[in-house]
Structure 1
Amino acid sequence: MAASIPTEWNTWRNAMERALYGDGGFYRRGERPAEHFRTSVHASPRFAAALARLLAEVDALLGRPDRLDLVDVGAGCGGVLTHVLETAAPDLAARLNPVAVEVAPRPGGMPPAVAWRTDPPESITGLVVANEWLDNVPLDVVEQAPDGPRVVLVDPATGVERPGPAPSPEDLEWLERWWPLREPGDRAEIGRPRCAAWASVVGRLDRGLAVAIDYSHTRAARPVYGTLTGYRDGATVPAVPDGSCDVTAHVALDACATAGERAGATASLLTTQREALHALGVSGARPPIDLAHRDPRAYLTALCTAGEAAELTDPHGLGGFGWLAQAVGMPLPPALEGLR
């Protein structure tokens, strides 16, 4: 008879923490997002160009300080920072302090001007971007049982689940406000750790803007059975927290917005990537057909640009991502203020 394999029951939060960030975890061993799933950074340089325009607006509102911080939280391969450094106006580039926040090792070929660290700076004046970072902040999963919510326990080796104890009073309070469960079998992902992580980012801003960009949902339309998902080698796979794949869950950005306001944000905007990028000059409109006759090469270039922009702003894809922008000590930049 074959020996049985012992089952190790963990909360999803603990299992995700170990699978993603523990010794030998998915991100600790240097896995790069582009190898497993497509992000806006990889889809087109026009995403970074839009952030560069946003940075220029922040710079103007701050009075063009001697040092302007650009902090990319969850920087991946550092593509946003590299592009902004390459394209920024000389005056801005000379004052720019680019900081990549990433647990993976620094990749080769990064510009020497980019600081690479595992935590955001304690004091920031400028722009903070967190693109697809909060969805990887570990959290607990609960399921409604006949006697109330129960924390879901998981075997990291197999992904098999079983019901566990009742949630803590703090988690129950978060659930009631942000993701109330009604029927047995309903599930929720407790976003309290993401709220705390985002509040920590906003709290480091002396003056400036913080932007979170992610898969998201709001209280009016939470998914009944949750959103836990795994990614590996460009494909969606079961969310097994064994370190072999990325494990993510969509973000309750409305709850994060309230946490950011408590941390000091004085102006906030919650919108979609489609609306934000349109406001920042990214358009998927096709070039006029007569350009093909007048200048075929220019037409093909413009057509390629339009195709990339269309992918970034597709409401059923990247354009459906949520954008949470929160300012401290300054108004929202003009391009985003117009969306309010």
Structure 2
Amino acid sequence: MWLTWRAATERALYGDNGFYLRECPSGHFRTSVGASSVFAEAVLCELVALDDALGGPPVIDLVDVGAGEGTLAAGVLAAAPPGLRPRLRVTGVDLAPRPARLPGEIAWARTVPDGINGLVIANEWLDNVPVDVAEQTADGPRLVLVDPSTGAERLGDRPSEADLAWLARWWPMRAPGERAEIGRPRDEAWASVIVRLARGRAIAIDYAHPVDDRPPCGTLAGYRDGAAVAPVPDGSCDITAHVALDACAAAGERAGAVTTALTTQRQALRALGVTGTRPPVEHARDDPRGYLRALARASQEAELIAAEGLGGFGWLSQARL
């Protein structure tokens, strides 16, 4: 049976007994959320600043899209100061069942709620929104079909007119053999988040590439047990591809975003006070335990902002205020 990559990935990740409905993501790949509680603290700093900008509303939302095991939502809730926590409404959004140990104050939903007044965080969500793969031929782009059981591929029909227009604008292919991942479903997914913002900010964090530097062979990949594997859409592994965040930004603006910022995680977290600065060594004599704690934190911060690692992730921030 031959399927488009989008259809095969949808079934492999989210179909009956799909990968994300039965597996804990932290067992297969490392994310900023799992790397350190510093990430949740940085998100809390963003939320506190937004709360002030909104004038301290009676209720302020934190919505974690693609919440997985609920680690980020729980971390922000636990770290929230006394003046904010009673007003904080936290919602985790995921197709997977509610995690058993999630604090009772955190709501769990399969879809993004309407009327959000606060902050939406989508950390490594868009890269798992399934997309089709196209390959350039002498006769123009063709869809790539895949056998879900083996990962074998062959060429299919031309993409739809809407997908051809997306390719022409956001990922033009020039030479036969070049490949592109058609990001239009991700644009639509992100726009659906923006329209649910009443007042506030939405931030998407993901592997990304810009329109003037798309990878000519695409980025489709598989992950299992912490290692890269062949992307076979049989449900045995994660299937992911980097995100055209610039295209998502344009879709967000069409959906009503009034401000847009595209940056890297390194730049965004440094602006939130995550610097990776090591404590002065002389503190080791005065307070050895405190020094070791500060040194451990500095190491965690450094991982989150490493330019060749997590710090290289793209951050798309859009607001309706």
Which range, TM-score by smaller chain?
over 0.9
1:157-192 deviations in Å (ceiling 9; x for gaps): 000000110111100100000000000000000000
User: What residue ranges of structure 2 are gaps of 5+ in the alignment?
Assistant: none
Which residue is 1:279 aligned to? 271
User: What residue ranges of structure 1 are gaps of 5+ in the alignment?
Assistant: 1-7, 330-340
Which residue is 1:3 aligned to? none
**Of 292-301 and 19-28, the range deviating more from structure 2:** 292-301
5 Å-filtered alignment, 1:305-324, equals: 305-324=297-316
Within 1, Cα distance between the matches of 2:234 and 2:101? 31
Give, in angstroms, the shift of residue 28 of structure 1: 1.8
Which residue is 2:296 aligned to? 304
> In structure 2, what residue type is equivalent to 1:49?
E
5 Å-filtered alignment, 1:12-161, equals: 12-29=5-22, 31-161=23-153
Give, in angstroms, the shift of residue 21 of structure 1: 0.5
Give, in angstroms, the shift of residue 33 of structure 1: 1.1
The alignment's TM-score, normalised by the length of structure 2, stands at: 0.99
Q: Secondary structure at the match of 1:27?
A: helix
Which residue is 1:229 aligned to? 221
For the pair 1:250 / 2:281, whether they are aligned, the reply is: no
Which residue is 1:189 aligned to? 181
Within 2, Cα distance between the matches of 1:87 and 1:192? 36
For the pair 1:208 / 2:200, whether they are aligned, the reply is: yes
1:205-260 deviations in Å (ceiling 9; x for gaps): 01000000000001011001000010111111000000000000000000000000
> In structure 2, what residue type is equivalent to 1:32?
C
1:55-83 deviations in Å (ceiling 9; x for gaps): 00111111111111100000011111111
1:107-141 deviations in Å (ceiling 9; x for gaps): 11111110111001021100000000000000000
> In structure 2, what residue type is equivalent to 1:25?
G
Runs of 4+ displaced beyond 4 Å: none
Which residue is 1:335 aligned to? none
Q: Secondary structure at the match of 2:231?
A: coil
For the pair 1:10 / 2:3, whether they are aligned, the reply is: yes
Q: Secondary structure at the match of 2:84?
A: helix
Give, in angstroms, the shift of residue 91 of structure 1: 2.0
> In structure 2, what residue type is equivalent to 1:248?
T
> In structure 1, what residue type is equivalent to 2:16?
D
The alignment's TM-score, normalised by the length of structure 1, stands at: 0.93
Q: Secondary structure at the match of 1:251?
A: coil
Give, in angstroms, the shift of residue 85 of structure 1: 1.3
Give, in angstroms, the shift of residue 294 of structure 1: 2.1
Give, in angstroms, the shift of residue 89 of structure 1: 1.2
Give, in angstroms, the shift of residue 293 of structure 1: 2.1
Q: Secondary structure at the match of 1:242?
A: coil
Which residue is 2:232 aligned to? 240
**RMSD (CA atoms):** 0.7
**Of 244-253 and 88-97, the range deviating more from structure 2:** 88-97
Give, in angstroms, the shift of residue 283 of structure 1: 1.2
Within 1, Cα distance between the matches of 2:187 and 2:24? 25
Within 2, Cα distance between the matches of 1:27 and 1:86? 26
Which residue is 2:256 aligned to? 264
> In structure 1, what residue type is equivalent to 2:84?
L
Q: How many residues align?
A: 321
Within 1, Cα distance between the matches of 2:211 and 2:317? 18
